[in-house]
Amino acid sequence: MIGDRNLMSHTYDVAKFEAVIDTLRSSYLPLLDEWYLQLKEELTL
């Protein structure tokens, strides 16, 4: 994740941007969704 953030900090290449967006959707979003649901469950207990 930090590598993608660093890449986008100084990249103005649309192809690299789209690659990072694809990674966000396929790799990071499912993990963040799972984490959100776990936190939500803990708050409702």
Tell me the per-residue pLDDT of 1-45, one tens digit each, with 9 for 90 and over. 778 777 777 778 899 889 989 999 999 999 999 999 999 999 987
Would you state the pLDDT for residue 29? Answer: 95
Would you state the pLDDT for residue 41? Answer: 94
pTM of the model: 0.61
Would you state the pLDDT for residue 34? Answer: 97
C-alpha closest to that of 3 among 18, 20, 15: 20
C-alpha 17: how far from its chain's center?
Answer: 13
In the chain, where the domains are located: 2-44
Would you state the pLDDT for residue 5? Answer: 76
